Chain A
Amino acid sequence: MTKHLHKLKAHARLFHVQKEAAFALILIVLTFVLLAALPDTRQPFASSEVQFTDSSASGLAIVPASCPSTPDYAGECDPSPLCNLPSAVAALFGINCPEPPPNTCDNGASNYPTCTFPPNTCDNGASNYPTCTFPPNTCPIGYILGDDGVCVFNVCPSGYEQEGNQCVSITPACTPLNYCVGSTLWHRNATCSTSPIQACSNGCTAGGCIEVAPPGVVVWQVRPPLLNAGERANVSWQVTGVLSCEVTGNNGDGTGSNETGVWSGASGAQISSPITAQTIYTLTCIGLDDSTVTRSATVNITPIFQEL
């Protein structure tokens, strides 16, 4: 009988424990469901590329992409690297790598698919697309194309002046611009050269350093200004735009040399030590713009008049 009772009790305990475990399991599932249901409140970032379609001369829509913009990686827009292997090997992996069409570029150019010549194959620094025949517009400004295909210096057009054998633009080539790189402000001038102009101590945004307002004293009170010897005064202060503030009295208050301890911070309210003689309290703050602001207030002792 006792044995049965023990067995029954053990069953009951196990049932209780299983109930607890089931409850814990439900709790876990509920937490996961709750987390999954949390809405993502971030607003989508609409870049200049989204919905961008340009139109051709006759009005058809062209859709540019920007696949190989990731640093040092051509994205998924290059054929598989397996295409560099013999086509039979690529075919084993199910990758179709068509053979490049025969080279149709002139003058020995072989840069498929565009007949672009490497710079060292053309003279005079001509932009050598599609062939090295120096079309007039590829000669440097001020040069004309000679019969032998060589650019010959002629005369600088208006808006340019001659410097040696070059025509240099006298009109600005770039719009002057200030822009931020981290917390450094950079400038690009009219000749397109760039240089850092300022390290912004408070950060840089939208082509300018973030300006910081000078410190402003909102509250500076020492009350009462007149008291009986041995009484205490209330000192309170509140200053905006500061790195730090300290309040000291010439009786040692706020300096840490007496019972009042150190008085510091952008705001505070303190009770002075017993005042026995005229005391001057001074508030000194260093602003976020590195400027210093000071205020002072005097507490006087009520004179005692003795009848003679």
Chain B
Amino acid sequence: MAWLVTSISRRRFYIAAIVLLVCVSPFFYDGPVLALYRNTHESLMYRLFPSSERAFAYGERHFNARNPSSYDVERAAYFFGKAADIDPTFPYLYHELARIAFLKGEFETAMALINMQIAQMGDKAPNSYYIRALIEGYMGEYAASAKDYEYFLQSHPTNWAAVNDYAWVLLKAERSQDALAAIEPVIPYWPDNPWLLNTYATALYETREYTEALRAAQKASIAVSNLSETEWLQAYPGNDPKIASKGVAAFKKAVQDNIHSITVALASSTVQSTVKP
């Protein structure tokens, strides 16, 4: 450094150091400065070299829960839209647009988009069936949702989230025995998964197996208390990392409420069986 300062003029050295700092420093912080730098860079690159591949890649960058500084659903939708303008047949384009519409709560639009994706790729995209099942579940179309989950489970039989969600729509359709039959074989794969344990507890409760339900709910409570925001985001990959703490809190409250309900039901059933002659 001393050699540099003496060999070139001091003013030039400071100007060069500041310019270098401005250029390099964003890469050291995963924050708003890096986001601004990236956004400017990608806007420029897209304007210079527009292509569906580039637009899709930029869309994916902004639709990734693991990348907090880049997460921006509107920007992701913008680039997916650009990709659609260039090449409407680009793989998984409608899938991603459907996910965004789903997250925004625009379920009808999400359905139309995911149906376009399935019409385009069909059996090659089981994940699109999963998305459709999810949308149908939120729309209250449980029978259709269950069918799509079953289709996805054919290729991913031990995927805990798919089994959990499948059991959810079965429970909503008041098919609690089927829900139990779906979850039980998968529990050994995921003995500490709070989602599965919670849904398992609910299915047991619905079939009036209160003691087993309480045991499962207590295990779920232990599991959810150890649940990190990173793990929560793995389960909801399209969501804003900033919202993870709220998601974890809502989940913990749901499990605690369930324990309370099961405990009350267990106590009532014990009293009834004691009172009976």
- Residues of A bordering B, CB below 8 Å: 14, 17-18, 20-21, 24, 27-28, 31-32, 35-36, 38-42, 44-54, 56-79, 97-98, 100-101, 111-114, 116, 118, 127, 129-130, 175, 177, 179-184, 186, 188, 192, 194, 204, 207
Contacts and interface: CB of A to CB of B under 8 A. Distances in A.
Contacts of A111: 153-154, 157
14 contacts: A36-B29, A48-B103, A48-B104, A49-B247, A56-B206, A58-B205, A62-B167, A62-B198, A64-B165, A66-B238, A74-B127, A79-B189, A101-B188, A114-B166
A96 B213 CA distance: 25
A207 B84 CA distance: 16
Q: In terms of DSSP, what is the predominant structure of the interface of chain A?
A: loop
A50 B171 contact: no
Contact of B161 (A62, A66, A71, A182): A66
Interface in B8-57: 10, 13-14, 17-18, 21, 25-26, 28-29, 31-33, 35
Interface in B165-214: 165-168, 171-172, 174, 176, 178, 181-182, 185-186, 188-189, 195, 198-199, 201-202, 205-206
A150 B31 CA distance: 63
B127 A69 contact: yes
B238 A69 contact: yes
B157 A47 contact: no
A64 B147 contact: no
Given A60-B202, A62-B198, A21 B258 contact: no
A57 B203 CA distance: 10
A45 B199 contact: no
Contacts, number: 282
Contact of A50 (B92, B101, B156, B246): B246
Contacts of B29: 32, 35-36
B112 A24 contact: no
Given A113-B185, A114-B157, A177-B108, 13 more contacts: A17-B6, A44-B240, A56-B202, A57-B171, A62-B198, A68-B159, A71-B95, A72-B92, A98-B188, A100-B185, A111-B154, A113-B182, A130-B181
A54 B172 CA distance: 9
Contacts of B18: 27, 31
A67 B5 contact: no
Contacts of A50: 236, 239, 243, 246-247, 250
Given A28-B17, A65-B165, A74 B156 contact: yes
Given A24-B17, A67-B236, A54 B168 contact: yes
A166 B112 CA distance: 24
A62 B102 contact: no
B237 A70 contact: yes
Given A62-B198, A67-B161, A75-B237, A180 B81 contact: yes
B267 interface: no
B188 to A, nearest CB: 4
A63 B195 contact: yes
Given A53-B250, A63-B251, A74-B127, A47 B156 contact: no
Nearest to A48: B105
A175 B141 CA distance: 14
Contact of B99 (A52, A65, A69, A184): A69
A71 B159 CA distance: 15
A42 B68 CA distance: 11
B85 A184 contact: yes
A59 to B, nearest CB: 7
Given A62-B198, A72-B92, A179 B127 contact: no
Contacts of A118: 154
Given A61-B258, A73-B127, A42 B239 contact: no
Contacts of B250: 50-53, 63
A71 B127 contact: yes
A112 B188 CA distance: 13
B17 A18 contact: no
Contact of A68 (B35, B94, B97, B156): B156
A171 to B, nearest CB: 16
A63 B109 contact: no
Contacts of B10: 20
B33 to A, nearest CB: 5
A31 B19 CA distance: 11
Contacts of B130: 68-69
